Amino acid sequence: MAHSNIWNSHPRGYGKGSRECRVCTHPAGLIRKYGLNICRQCFRENSAAIGFTKVLTANLADYEFALAPNMRILCVAEKHAIAKSVAQILSDNHFQTRETGDQFTRNLEFTYRFPNNSMAQIVMTSVRGHLCTTDFPEQYRKWSSCAPVQLFELNIEKKPSADLAALERNLAHEARNANQVMIWTDCDREGENIGAEVAQVCRRSNQQIVVTRARFSSVTPAQVDAVDARMELDLRVGASFTRFQTLSFQDWFPDLKDGVVSYGPCQFPTLGFVVDQYRRVENFIPESFWKLEVKHNKDGVDANFVWQRGHLFDQLACLVIYEACMETPGPTFRINRVKSKPTSKYKPLPLTTVELQKSGSRLLSMSSDRIMTVAEGLYTQGWISYPRTETDQFDQNYDLMGLVQRQTHNGQWGRFAQRLVEGGFRNPRRGKENDQAHPPIHPVMHTENLAGDEKKVYEYITRRFLACCSEDAKGDQTDIDAVIHTETFKATGLIIKERNYLDVYPYDKWSGTVLPNFEEGEEFIPTEFMMKHGATLSPTTITESQLIALMHKNGIGTDATIADHIKTIINREYVVRHKQGNEFQFTPSTLGIALVEGYDNIGLDMNAQRPPPGPGQGPRNNGVRNAGGGGGGGGGFGGGGGGGGGGGAGGGGGSNGFQSFAPKPTAPIVNQQQQGFPSRQGGAVMNAFRENLGSGNSTDSKPRCACGLVAKEVASSKNNGRLFFACSKHQSIACKFFAWADEVNPAANSGPWTAGGGQPQAPQHYGNNSYSKSSTSRSGSSSKGSSSKSTTKRASKSGITAVRIGKKSRPI
């Protein structure tokens, strides 16, 4: 069979949709792979003509597709910058550009010759991240359309994003004219999911199109499902809790009528870290300690000896030891050991996104979101590599020397780069992380035309890269032990011999300390021997670099989203970012503390805050159901009956835990025991919030409305604060239930915000950054509370272990 007869039998050469062999018209034993539609016999006879190469065995399963004449391949990258870079490399910068209908994306077309001399027409295009979004059905998108708890059970729609419609149309159009689509998205979970979306669009347009994956990876169902589950959990949990919080708070605080009190599975643990550290600062009590210090001057050189015990919190015990030492004749110290050894200060690991944000906020005095914005800009301009990566090791075959060579012309670090080229180059350290998608962040091209923040970030990335390619700093360390009575004192000296990477990396400090020459067995009477008093220092509020490190360690967000989560809690006014020295620090607002304390008080098990599911961690639907529903009957949010279930609200009764707060107590609560954070002296807003949450007691004595839910108590504004019961749903969907509280429960009093039985006091509004230092308890009396020096560990409701120093518990 002639070559042309096979491929010209169909307008595009593939016989799309045919049910018989295109050569002999026999319907049996067709090979449909790659859209061939050819029987096995004809395949064997014509394999050379149709562009197939036989490998390993004669088995048809081992034939590998080479290229057919007039092959047209559609390549799809995740971003236009990557598509352009690939096209430049494959086409040697000879490609034509076509419009796509999207202002940020172009089709790049060129011809490519494969190693076997087969020619193919390549169209390189791209998307802009995910093509599809998830949302609830149209009729449930309004906040008043259903109770928030119903969002856990509704179906989720995954549909194309409206603003990416042009990209979808472009993919469909190009796929109709292509024989094969090659997916070039990142080889991580998100990239796999985006690749699956691209393949779905292409297959809808051309059912016979062959889908392949660059870098010999595969679009695996487990990775696709993991991302889909994460997106569904984010939507269900975020939407339901945000509606719940906002609608509930708007009933109590008029200032929030036009605001949103949002919730997110990553946003809330981030806020929890800030509040935890703030608690440590608030509860800190300084403690006095005593220590012994020895100084000696020999040959004009001072030596400072440090007590091996560190310090003691018992003044009398320290004094006894000091007196015993002073009773020694002299008092004479004896050199017990002199040891010298070579030491090194390790060069930094290759740069990851998390490390860029941590170091940048600490060293460059820039916020994490600003650092990422600047880095993205440098990447788009072609100065640095892709700035979102978890990899801290370079591939063995990476051309690092070529990158170093490009920096030799720089006026600041060019000489150091030249030293590396001339023999000072050393392979970078290999970290433990490799996302198989992107190399560590490094400079790609040299430039000296940057200014402001761009210059600072580019300089840090370049100096870090050159430091990675240099050698560790080297020195000699000398340890000297001096003994008197039963006590040992130690002095440490350091002589730096080779600075190496420190010459180009000023962000690391390593200073030498010179010691006098001592010999073992030598005795001396110190120049100064004193017992000194000191006190423990209070911790500071959490810094941005510390917050990023905690988020990364506990799997809160990804390297690409950490900065966004921090920015969200700032924009929501849950925390305040302020500059202390060269670093940014965070302090929680009253609203932020109230939210964290509120969830802690109602005993809610935040299952949804576990890290996103990964491949092989069980069926997707099970994970979504377990995280959202909480398991047992009456549990979670809104289940009727007692017991609370697996995440029930309030502990005492799981009824209506989601639709409204637990009913307000009928009397002020003094020194109420809390399950998580220690009590804090707050303002009226904090008190009102705690009282809205209630003490977790049974709600069986409260009436139920026509919806079958426990009614909420409301103070009347026209009847001297008389309490009444109403439906706990939002007023837009609430039933018409009404009952006076004193008629249902004669013991009901004038309400939780009533001071001395008078008119109800309106709750104070949330201040942006206001903190009340009042020590007045709910009963109106003043108390200092009890003191404790114990340090306790607490497993927070988000599943994150945190340390809390319970120095002092204060009344509310």
Active-site residue numbers?
A: 386
The phi and psi torsions of 449 (rounded to 5 degrees) equal: -110, 25
Buried-exposed string 257-288: b where 16+ CB fall within 10 A, e elsewhere: eeeebbbbbbbbbbbbbbbbbbbbebbeeeee
Q: How far apart are CA 662 and CA 712, in angstroms?
A: 8
- Count CB-CB contacts under 10 A for residue 205: 18
Q: How far apart are CA 543 and CA 581, in angstroms?
A: 11
- Count CB-CB contacts under 10 A for residue 310: 8
Buried-exposed string 169-204: b where 16+ CB fall within 10 A, e elsewhere: bbbeebbeebbbbbbbbbbbbbbbbbbbbbbebbee
Contact 171, 205 (CB under 8 A): yes
Q: How far apart are CA 440 and CA 422, in angstroms?
A: 24
Q: How far apart are CA 557 and CA 560, in angstroms?
A: 8
Q: How far apart are CA 126 and CA 105, in angstroms?
A: 7
Residues ≥6 apart with Cβ < 8 Å to 294: 304, 305, 307, 333, 482, 489, 526, 528, 529
Contact 2, 57 (CB under 8 A): no
Q: How far apart are CA 240 and CA 66, in angstroms?
A: 52
> What does the DSSP assignment read for 215-243?
GG----HHHHHHHHHHHHHHHHHHHHHHH
Provide the 8-state DSSP code for 389. Answer: -
Find residue 180's DSSP bridge partners. Answer: 73, 210
User: Counting beta carbons within 10 angstroms of the beta carbon of residue 573, is it exposed (0 to 12), middle (13 to 18) or buried (19 or more)?
Assistant: middle
The phi and psi torsions of 374 (rounded to 5 degrees) equal: -65, -45
> What does the DSSP assignment read for 595-628?
HHHHHHHTT---GGGSPPP-TTSS-HHHHHHHHH
